[in-house]
Structure 1
Amino acid sequence: MTSPFSVLLPVYRGDRPDYLRRAFRSVVDDQELRPAEVVVVRDGPVGAELAEALAELTSQSVVPVVRVDLEENVGLALALEAGLAACSHEIVARQDADDISRPRRFAVQVPLVVGGLDVVGSAIEEFGSDLDGETPGLVRVPPLSAREIAETSRFASPFNHPTVVYRRSVVAAVGGYEDLPLMEDYWLFARLVAHGARMANVPEPLVRYRVGAGAYARRGGSTLLRSELELQRRLRREGFTTLGQAARNVAVRGGYRLVPETLRRSLYQTWIRLRRSG
């Protein structure tokens, strides 16, 4: 026996209906351990096809679906906060609208949270834009132990956000998701590390992570650079990083946002492979 848990799934107008159907069914129909509910947050208006897919999934789901329909697009952080407020259970699993959870995911992660951990993530396997995503892809293994997570968090996010399962009360205790475009997850995880949350990652890739044509473009540009600089300012203000670490992060992470997309892709994949071999 294990505790009931919620799945938190945000959706916005840029999501594809076919990807959403596959993502939703991967956390409901395919799971060895099914959730007690799925909380779907519609972040602002969506097109007719996506609205139809949401209605279909809500009506046909074998587990209860709680809809949180926001009238305006508020961004991921505030959408997730609205969704967390609607979750009925202490344990919450994140799911993105275009990724695919492996059937073993919740059967592996939820018992670890029930057993005492506050946050449990996993490795991911990247795949392209094909719907089923069965072609083997690049596996990204995050830091596994609490010590490795704490060390990594001074330079990079220690979790793959779409893989995490956590205790809602612990997330709330550090202030929840705060608005910081494209960096809200890293900022949350850093505060959780500072708070002393009990954390671990599973080396098994329990989520297939969809990497579209614009994935590397989104990792750069002026908007992300501004968020990067604000993140580093907050980390330093809170004493989470030293002055030297902050300077390194601005130079390396900030510089990465400014290089051409082709070079950014190469640097990113090289860094992942170095982490795996190290």
Structure 2
Amino acid sequence: MGTAAPIRLRGPTVSPREQFSLLLPVYGRDDAALLRESFHSTVSAQTRPPAQVVLVRDGPIPEALRRCVDELAATSAVPVARVDLTRHRGLGVALDAGLAASDHDIVARMDADDVAVPHRFARQVPLVEAGADLVGSAMLEFEGDPTRVVGLRTALVDEDRIARRARFHDPFNHPTVVYRRSAVLDAGGYGDFPLMEDYRLFARMIANGARSTNLAEPLVYYRVDTGAYARRGGFALLRRELQLQREFRRHRFTNRAQFLRNVLVRCGYRLVPERARRASYRRIIA
């Protein structure tokens, strides 16, 4: 893919105000109290709330979580479309099912245990209305509750730099993105690619010509736990990483030198001890 031209966003008098859907997946390990907090922060607490919530249940969930989902769907001031997958299919399949149930072309992502700032969509959605296909933001990592911030994940703003970075790292923080559903579908959707479905999708969107940008402002509080860095290593993720890098090379998203660099650095990262992984994550992978 060649170097992308800067995004020229249309002015607010030209671009109409569009409605959008919120895509929120839930699975068996989610916590009811955290889901309730996440739902509130992205629906009733937003200065520009979604017109629809698509709540995807990815397989069986515990009774407490089921009651929470029922309560949110019944009491929400915003219509809730429920998608119930009878068995756990994984995040990519769940998100594709949710996209199919979305009423609007603009779709915002959120995870069931994170917290959005009140003006998140007021800042991001106008950029999609004005011509972007994919808009993310920086996010703050926290432990326990959002007042205990432990880190900041920055985000590149310039489209050219985003396209270059995508050859080596995911240039978007997945829980922060708002995108055009049509651009996602044109790139083939998420697909069944566990552990790396978001990076794979965003790279394919960029290769497909989608216009992308980020906001440097942190708009999401991202929950981290003691197992966060352990999950980023191991042989299962190593195999998935190799599969992704081969796919990038096969489709000429990366050249030979970039492929070799990624195999050495990104695959090597999956095998180092967790302590080293924690120390180097933002510099090497994030």
TM-score range, shorter chain: over 0.9
Q: Are 1:141 and 2:159 matched, yes or no? A: no
Per-residue Cα deviation, 1:89-127 (whole angstroms, up to 9, x for no partner): 010000000111110100000011001111100001000
**Aligned pair partner of 2:90 in 63, 70, 75:** 75
Q: Equivalents in 1 of 2:51, 2:150: separation in Å?
A: 31
Matching residue of 2:43: 28
Q: Equivalents in 2 of 1:38, 1:185: separation in Å?
A: 20
Give the residue type in structure 2 aligned to 1:177: Y
Following TM superposition, by how much is the alpha carbon of 1:43 offset from its aligned partner in structure 2, in angstroms? 0.2
Q: Are 1:164 and 2:177 matched, yes or no? A: yes
SS at match of 1:175: coil
Higher helix share: 1
Following TM superposition, by how much is the alpha carbon of 1:271 offset from its aligned partner in structure 2, in angstroms? 5.1
User: Is this contact kept in 1: 2:138–2:219, CA < 8 A?
Assistant: yes
Q: Are 1:234 and 2:262 matched, yes or no? A: no
Q: Equivalents in 1 of 2:283, 2:167: separation in Å?
A: 20
Stretches (4+) displaced over 2 A:
269-272
Q: Equivalents in 2 of 1:254, 1:227: separation in Å?
A: 9
Matching residue of 1:87: 102
Q: Equivalents in 1 of 2:242, 2:283: separation in Å?
A: 23
Give the residue type in structure 2 aligned to 1:47: P
Aligned pairs for 1:195-210 (under 5 A) are: 195-210=208-223
User: Is this contact kept in 1: 2:265–2:284, CA < 8 A?
Assistant: no
User: Is this contact kept in 1: 2:108–2:177, CA < 8 A?
Assistant: yes
- Decide whether aligned partners of structure 1 residues 271 and 231 sit closer, same or farther in structure 2, where only a CA change above 3 A counts: closer
Following TM superposition, by how much is the alpha carbon of 1:184 offset from its aligned partner in structure 2, in angstroms? 0.5
Following TM superposition, by how much is the alpha carbon of 1:174 offset from its aligned partner in structure 2, in angstroms? 1.0
Q: Are 1:6 and 2:21 matched, yes or no? A: yes
Q: Equivalents in 2 of 1:110, 1:250: separation in Å?
A: 36
Q: Equivalents in 1 of 2:40, 2:32: separation in Å?
A: 12
SS at match of 1:150: helix
Work out the number of aligned pairs and report it: 271
Following TM superposition, by how much is the alpha carbon of 1:42 offset from its aligned partner in structure 2, in angstroms? 0.1
Following TM superposition, by how much is the alpha carbon of 1:135 offset from its aligned partner in structure 2, in angstroms? 2.5
Matching residue of 2:201: 188
Following TM superposition, by how much is the alpha carbon of 1:84 offset from its aligned partner in structure 2, in angstroms? 0.2
Q: Are 1:49 and 2:64 matched, yes or no? A: yes
**Aligned pair partner of 1:106 in 99, 121, 125:** 121
SS at match of 2:229: helix
Give the residue type in structure 2 aligned to 1:81: D
Identity %, equivalent residues: 56
Give the residue type in structure 1 aligned to 2:59: G
Q: Are 1:268 and 2:276 matched, yes or no? A: no
Aligned pairs for 1:208-247 (under 5 A) are: 208-247=221-260
Following TM superposition, by how much is the alpha carbon of 1:270 offset from its aligned partner in structure 2, in angstroms? 5.1
Q: Equivalents in 1 of 2:208, 2:284: separation in Å?
A: 28
User: Is this contact kept in 1: 2:106–2:181, CA < 8 A?
Assistant: yes
Following TM superposition, by how much is the alpha carbon of 1:56 offset from its aligned partner in structure 2, in angstroms? 1.1
Q: Equivalents in 2 of 1:137, 1:33: separation in Å?
A: 28
Q: Equivalents in 2 of 1:178, 1:233: separation in Å?
A: 17
User: Is this contact kept in 1: 2:157–2:216, CA < 8 A?
Assistant: yes
Aligned pairs for 1:53-68 (under 5 A) are: 53-68=68-83
Q: Equivalents in 2 of 1:21, 1:165: separation in Å?
A: 21
Q: Equivalents in 2 of 1:267, 1:20: separation in Å?
A: 30
Matching residue of 2:135: 120
